[in-house]
Structure 1
Amino acid sequence: MIDQVLPADLAAWFARDASAKALLLDVREPWEVQTASVTPRGYALLAIPMNQIPSRLPELGGYDRIACLCHHGARSQHVAAYLSQHGFNDLANVAGGIDAWARQFDPAVPRY
C-alpha cells in the first residue's frame, strides 16, 4: 500500500519509525528541481528523474522508508507503485507534489 501524505505531515510519516533510514525521492526533471526544491528535515533528499528510476534502483536499496515527490503527485505516484512492485514496502506519495508543498507548507518554495 502506498500512503498519501500531505507535505505538512511528511516529517511525522517519516518519524513513525525513528530507526528507519528515510528518503524523500524527488522524481522531477533537473530543470524542475533547479526551479523549486525542498530542504530535507530529518531525512535524505535524492533527485532521480522518473525515467532514470529503473537504471538507478540500486541507489535506493539502503533506505527503509521512501516518500516520492513530483510537481503535482502523478509521476511520484507512478514511481511509488513501481518501487512497490520491485520489493520496496514502506512507501508514500507526497500528495499534491511540490506545488502543494509551496501552497500549504513552505511558501518560500517557488511555484511553477
Structure 2
Amino acid sequence: MKEITVQELKEMMDSGEDFQLLDVREPHEFEVANINGELIPRNDQPEAGDKIARDKKVVVHCRSGARSGQAIRFWENKYGLDNLYNLKGGILAWSDEIDPSVPKY
C-alpha cells in the first residue's frame, strides 16, 4: 500500500496540488477534529465508488492510519484503483507534527 507522510500532505496542500482528501472516520470523530477531508464513514464505504476520484491522487486518512488502510485495500480490490495513498499516522500525526491546534482524541 502506498503511503504519504503528514509533511508530504502539507506540501501538497501548500503548493495547491490537485488531489482528493478522504476522511474515513465516523461523523462524531470528524466533529472533534478534521483537516477538511471529505467524510466517508465505514457504513458508506462499500458504495462510495462514485465519490472517489480516478484522475488524481487520493489521500485517505483516519485517526491513526489503520482504518484508512482497510478502506484503501477494500477500494483497491472492489474498484481496481491504484491512485490511493494512506496518510501515515493519520490525524494524530497531523496534530503532532503539523498543527497542534487539531485536537487529539
Q: TM-score, normalised by structure 1?
A: 0.79
What letter matches 2:44 in structure 1? Q
Does structure 2 conserve the Cα–Cα contact (< 8 Å) formed by 1:5 and 1:13? no
In the TM superposition, residue 96 of structure 1 has moved relative to its aligned partner by 0.7
After superposing on structure 2, the runs of 4+ consecutive aligned residues of structure 1 that deviate more than 3 Å are 11-15
| 1:103 is aligned to 2:96 | yes
Partner of residue 87, structure 2: 94
Return the match for 1:71 from 63, 67, 78. Answer: 63
Q: Quote the offset at 1:63 in angstroms.
A: 4.8
Match in the other structure for 1:6: 5
Q: TM-score of the superposition, structure 2-length normalised?
A: 0.84
Map of 1:20-31 to 2, 5 A cutoff? 21-31=18-28
What is the count of residue pairs matched by the alignment?
A: 102
Question: How many Å separate the matches in 1 of 2:26 and 2:75?
Answer: 18
Higher mean alpha-carbon deviation, 95-104 vs 83-92, is at 83-92
Identical-residue share of aligned pairs (%): 31
